[in-house]
Chain A
Amino acid sequence: MSSPERSADRAATLRDGIGLGVAVGLYGAAFGAAADAAGLNLWQAMSLSALMFTGASQFALVGVLGAGGGALAAVGSALLLGTRNTVYGVRLVPLLRPTGIRRPGLAHWVIDETTAMSLAAPNRALGRLAFLVTGASIYLMWNAMTAVGALGAAALGGTARAALDAVVPAAFLALLWPRLRRSFPEAAVQRRVALGGAVVALALTPFVPAGVQVIAAVVAVALAGRPRATERPTAAEEMA
């Protein structure tokens, strides 16, 4: 039995989830291009999108490799950024109630966007639906557009390569930007930490092997200070 109101809610959830997938797909193309610029081949870029499937970690891994960094620095920075998803998983357990064989399947889609959409839903059923629709839509678009970006970038030459070199840092900035906006919880502290990370990385660049400065920049988290007693932000606020 479904009242008109409930089917309207379901339709809105479907629409928002699919819409978000299309928007995030653009980042997938940027990731494919960044992976190509870092020296990964098409299959390596596509494997990251299919198997790692968490944007910031993927960008970090190819970013460190592109800067000439080693495997450990690249994997380390991806894992540091991946810790977010552990926290998201904990918040999603009451909603998804994952059991048995479904747990490992659901885990793969625990990312910023699916968490935000599920936790913002008005009830548990819609939260589950939002998780699945957003997850499926982003997974499809992210992987398809990774291929488009990697193939597109591989076809570039000369001046277009210089353009791509300038696009990669801009893509990182766009990834960081929402955290710096005034509407983000503790935006001023986020800005201080981001600036601190940038300064530490640049200061260390001449002295450490390439890529290590990115991991070392995690010490800038100390600039955030002690935990506050206030309520933690919701995931929806975090990705606003």
Chain B
Amino acid sequence: MSGTVLWATVLGGSLGCYLLKLAGLSVPAAWVEQPWVARVVDFVPAALLGALVAVQAATTGQQLVLDGRLVGLAVAALALALRAPFIVVLLLAGAAGALVHVLA
């Protein structure tokens, strides 16, 4: 991806996200507070973040790949389940990924 396209992505995405925020302070509440709109908005983050976790951890391009990232993710899940602080979760995941890289 060229630098120009990358900048367009950064600035276009930023403008769009800003307009979504501004819309909330500007449009009549009734437009937004319909049950099915609320339902979709409540669950979009779970669907997209679930997809991003999977894509980041187990794919490269169009291929499914099993490597240290998946081990790091498993360690992170365990740390989160044990209520470890965010920084500890990331450090443990990174350490696991690095270890697999060294051993593999």
Give the interface of A toward B (CB within 8 A): 23, 26-27, 30, 39-40, 44, 47-48, 51-54, 56-57, 59-61, 63-68, 70-71, 74-75, 77-90, 92-93, 96, 98, 103-104, 106-108, 110, 159-160, 162-177, 179-180, 186, 189-191, 193-202, 205-210, 213-214, 217-221, 223-224, 226-227, 232-233, 238
Are A166 and B55 CB-contacts (below 8 A) given A54-B17, A107-B22? no
Q: How many A-B contacts if CB must be within 8 Å?
A: 318
Contact of B9 among A51, A74, A164, A168 (CB under 8 A): A74
Contact of A51 among B18, B29, B48 (CB under 8 A): B18
Which among B25, B44, B47, B54 has the greatest number of chain A C-beta atoms within 10 A? B47
Shortest B67–chain A CB gap in Å is 8
* Interface contact A214-B90, CB-CB below 8 Å: no
CB-defined contacts of B51 to chain A, threshold 8 Å: 197-198, 200-201, 213-214, 217, 220
Give the interface of B toward A (CB within 8 A): 1, 5-18, 20-27, 29, 32-33, 35-59, 61-64, 68-69, 71-73, 75-77, 80, 86-87, 89-90, 93-98, 100-102
Shortest A160–chain B CB gap in Å is 7
* 11 A-B pairs (CB sep. < 8 Å): A75-B13, A78-B13, A86-B21, A87-B37, A89-B25, A90-B33, A108-B21, A169-B72, A170-B72, A176-B45, A193-B50
* B interface SS class: helix
A63 CA / B29 CA spacing, docked (Å):
32
A88 CA / B30 CA spacing, docked (Å):
13
* Interface contact B16-A78, CB-CB below 8 Å: yes
Which residue of chain B has its CB nearest to the CB of A225? B39
CB-defined contacts of A199 to chain B, threshold 8 Å: 54
* Interface contact B53-A169, CB-CB below 8 Å: yes
